[in-house]
């Protein structure tokens, strides 16, 4: 009898404890981790098998990339990315002919499904929502808008539409469109630019960094993933990186780096000895969380004509605090460097920005405005007068190289390709400008400026009508 009473009392006590725990405020509840739910579909539909088998025969290179990918390992097939959704405009009409070929495996009508050629961040967001959300806020995703707000080549129509497609838009991205035949407009396609505007409204192309159809995180972590766009006279980040001590270590010991570490686990000291572009600007490190928003961790906007804080960059103001972002970058640096090293580096970087702004850019800009005000330069076009080109290259070429060279610790780019060239360009600019003012003579205009035929209409889908 006593045992029964004891059991009943124990049961009542347990029930009361549960009731009290349920009614406790949130701060008093046990700190249980949020349970993540995963669902992996192991089966592959016959339509997906048809895709795989046909591409294995018609495009073995494409199939090989996919077969060696993590996607394939997780049974993510062609259909999971390319299956057209209701309302998609870019259904690949030519793809339908493959379902009537007896020489292809599975080339039968019963396997026919609508396929969209373009895979967009919106498609990728079904499995990678956080990465896509972060990317959508970045300068990468919005680089078409930035380009049109900054670049006189486009706004003044000083290059042809095809020069833009094969040059500018290759990296910045196109505004995808359908032609009168219902196919992707060849003036906008093919393109994997980081700021590409897709027909579903999403911006960018994940394959800019994770090339198809391998989509390897190990590729995006290497500096070579960035060098197809970040190079050349105006933003030679890859050359700057290679000159820096970080790049030297990467070139010497990169074969020892573990680029295949799982997402969120890639760590300095454990997986790599020196940072790559991704390590500084995107990957997690210590207290710093990983991000696909490359606008983070930046404290100066060095691509701008006048160096400003990212929140003050008019073409695309960052919605963050530069001091918070600088601290994030410093925490990345702290994996390998002490505070005195880091603080002294930033002191030199800030001083270089100040000298560029005050000694070179502002006086040159004031002189340019004075020449326009005195009607000695013509504003109708840009680059058809020598001084306009001189001014442009002062900030867009030498000025950027100087600032970026200092920022990434490449002395040759900071000095010889940077401030040394700034001095030469500045002196030539000022000498010619002073001569025009002294003589009152208008600048010579190139009468046969070539191929200045580009459309000056800003893309309505970006800027509105």
Q: Is the pLDDT of residue 202 over 80?
A: yes
- Nearest Cα residue to 259 out of 214, 206, 220: 220
The answer to whether 44 touches 73, Cβ cutoff 8 Å, is no
Q: What is d(CA 300, CA 259) in angstroms, rounded to the nearest whole number?
A: 29
Q: What angle is formed at CA 154 by the lines to CA 384 and CA 118, rounded to 5 degrees? A: 150
CB 204 within 8 A of CB 57: no
Burial grade of 282 (CB within 10 A; 0-12, 13-18, 19 or more): buried
* Residues 6 or more apart whose Cβ sits within 8 Å of residue 32: none
Contact between 348 and 406 under an 8 Å Cβ cutoff? The reply is yes
Which tokens sit at 326?
A: 């600088």
Distance, in Å, from the CA atom of 256 to the CA atom of 274, rounded to the nearest integer, reads 11
The C-alpha R_g of the chain, in whole angstroms, comes to: 28
pTM, entire model: 0.88
Q: What percentage of the chain has pLDDT greater than the value 70?
A: 91
Helix axes 400-407, 339-355, angle to 10 degrees: 170
pLDDT average, residue stretch 302-327: 97
Q: pLDDT tens-digit profile of 431-443?
A: 999 999 999 999 9
Give the model's confidence band at 103: pLDDT under 50 very low, under 70 low, under 90 confident, else very high. Answer: confident
Is the pLDDT reported for residue 28 higher than 70? Answer: no
Lowest mean per-residue pLDDT among 49-53, 96-100, 419-423: 96-100
Indicate the SS3 state at residue 178. Answer: strand
| CB neighbours of residue 311 within 10 Å | 13
Alpha carbon distance 293, 282 (integer Å): 7
Residue 314, pLDDT > 80, answer: yes
């Amino acid at each position: 009898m006593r045992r029964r009473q004891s059991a009943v009392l124990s049961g009542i006590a347990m029930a009361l404890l549960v009731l009290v725990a349920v009614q406790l405020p949130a701060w008093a509840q046990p700190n249980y981790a949020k349970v993540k739910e995963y669902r992996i579909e192991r089966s592959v539909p016959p339509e997906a098998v048809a895709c795989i088998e046909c591409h294995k025969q018609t495009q073995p290179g494409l199939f090989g990339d996919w077969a060696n990918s993590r996607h394939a390992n997780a049974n993510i097939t062609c259909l999971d990315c390319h299956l057209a959704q209701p309302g998609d405009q870019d259904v690949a009409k030519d793809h339908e002919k493959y379902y009537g070929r007896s020489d292809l495996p599975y080339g039968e009508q019963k396997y026919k499904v609508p396929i969209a050629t373009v895979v967009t961040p919106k498609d990728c967001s079904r499995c990678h929502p956080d990465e896509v959300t972060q990317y959508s806020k970045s300068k990468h995703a919005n680089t078409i808008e930035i380009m049109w707000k900054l670049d006189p080549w486009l706004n003044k129509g000083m290059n042809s539409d095809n020069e833009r497609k094969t040059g500018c838009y290759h990296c910045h991205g196109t505004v995808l469109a359908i032609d009168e035949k219902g196919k992707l407009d060849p003036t906008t396609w093919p393109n994997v630019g980081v700021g590409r505007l897709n027909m579903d409204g999403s911006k960018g192309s994940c394959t800019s960094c994770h090339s198809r159809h391998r989509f390897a995180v190990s590729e995006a972590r290497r500096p070579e993933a960035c060098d197809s766009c970040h190079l050349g006279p105006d933003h030679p980040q890859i050359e700057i990186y290679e000159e820096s001590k970080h790049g030297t270590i990467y070139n010497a010991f990169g074969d020892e780096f573990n680029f295949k570490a799982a997402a969120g686990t890639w760590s300095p000291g454990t997986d790599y000895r020196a940072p790559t572009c991704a390590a500084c600007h995107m990957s997690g490190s210590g207290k710093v969380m990983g991000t696909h928003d490359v606008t983070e961790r930046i404290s100066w906007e060095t691509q701008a004509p006048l160096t400003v804080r990212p929140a003050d960059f008019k073409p695309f103001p960052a919605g963050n605090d530069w001091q918070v972002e600088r601290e994030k970058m410093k925490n990345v640096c702290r994996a390998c460097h002490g505070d005195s090293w880091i603080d002294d580096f930033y002191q030199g970087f800030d001083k270089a920005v100040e000298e560029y702004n005050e000694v070179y850019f502002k006086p040159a800009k004031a002189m340019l405005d004075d020449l326009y005000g005195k009607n000695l330069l013509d504003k109708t076009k840009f680059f058809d007068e020598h001084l306009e080109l001189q001014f442009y290259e002062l900030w867009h070429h030498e000025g950027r190289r100087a600032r970026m060279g200092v920022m990434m610790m490449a002395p040759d780019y900071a000095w010889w390709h940077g401030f040394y060239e700034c001095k030469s360009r500045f002196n030539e600019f000022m000498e010619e400008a002073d001569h025009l003012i002294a003589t009152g003579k208008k600048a010579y205009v190139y009468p046969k400026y070539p191929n200045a035929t580009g459309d000056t209409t800003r893309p309505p889908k970006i800027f509105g009508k």
